[in-house]
Amino acid sequence: MNTMLNQRMSDLLTCCVEQYIKMATPVTSSDIERRDGNEFSSATIRNDMKTLDQMGYLRQLHTSGGRVPTLMVYKVYIDNSP
């Protein structure tokens, strides 16, 4: 998605966007952890989500809540879709 992101974070963003589009609710680390093919712990996912939030890719609506993709992520997601 972005050259500043490692592959895990890029994959995490893709999962967040797809999960948010599918469910229309804030995405939690547990939502991502339960996805098929996930090989990372909930703590790793939470840490990456926090970093992505600080970078402006995700937004946390309230403390201990899930995160939602920002408009910046949707643009990148659409530009990189096959």
Domains and CATH numbers, the chain: 7-79 (1.10.10.10)
Provide the mean pLDDT of the chain: 87
Question: Is the predicted pLDDT of residue 58 greater than 60, yes or no?
Answer: yes
pLDDT tier at 2, thresholds 50, 70, 90: low
Q: Roughly what angle, to the nearest 10 degrees, separates helices 71-79 and 7-23?
A: 110
Residue type, 39: E
Model-level pTM?
Answer: 0.83
Question: What 8-state DSSP symbol labels residue 72?
Answer: H
The token duo for 19 is 């999960």
d(CA 82, CA 52): 23
Whether the CB-CB separation of 61 and 26 falls below 8 Å is answered with: yes
pLDDT digits (tens, 9 = 90+) for 10-47: 889 999 999 999 999 999 988 888 887 778 888 899 99
Question: What 8-state DSSP symbol labels residue 67?
Answer: E
